[in-house]
Amino acid sequence: MKVLWAPWRMEYILSDQKREGCIFCPGEDRSQDEERLILHVGSLSMVMMNRYPYINGHLLVAPVRHVSDLDGLSQDETLDLLLTVRKALGVLRKAMAPEGFNVGLNLGRVAGAGVEEHVHFHIVPRWNGDTNSMTVLGEVRVIPEHIKETYGKLLPFFREPNPANPESGGEI
């Protein structure tokens, strides 16, 4: 028998505390970012890790403002959101060297949106051979690295200055 190891799930299973409000609304307090798996919060967009990833490095990119669809975004928010997706792709390339990506939106519950009230992109890094029959036949995902280890691997890259804007610090 093979053992699947996902130790971060036990914290969720045993927890009586379910987060109030929207998981994507970062608020002003940055002290809980690591616990919430938030890697970056800019003025208009944010990046966080998916707590229940399809694979290591599965990121979520969302506008800071609580908006349910693309039509609700301003032009500045739309541009910043896409630039933040581009930055997240670059970080994943540097930190994890994936061979490709799935990038997309699930708009509406019937389209698979788990949190349909706050629009967000999924960025899923992919490697040749990263899928197996476990997901299809057993409805099980195998995640080989602890989520906090992946967080620690990605965070320094989100803090690097943007070459297009050297004064930005970690801003996109």
All domains of the chain in start order, with CATH: 33-157 (3.30.428.10)
**Using an 8 Å Cβ cutoff, are 68 and 119 in contact?**
yes
pLDDT digits (tens, 9 = 90+) for 21-37: 888 888 888 999 999 99
* Confidence band for 143, pLDDT divided at 50, 70 and 90: low
* Confidence band for 40, pLDDT divided at 50, 70 and 90: very high
Mean pLDDT in residue range 59-65: 96
Q: 121: Cβ–Cβ under 8 A, 6 or more apart, which residues?
A: 60, 61, 62, 81, 85, 103, 104, 105
pTM: 0.74
Query: Of 14-18, 49-53, 115-119, 125-129, which gets the smallest average pLDDT?
Result: 14-18
Residues annotated as catalytic (active site), given as ranges: 120
Whether pLDDT at 116 is above 80 = no
- Compute CA 89 distance to the chain's CA centroid, rounded to the nearest angstrom: 11
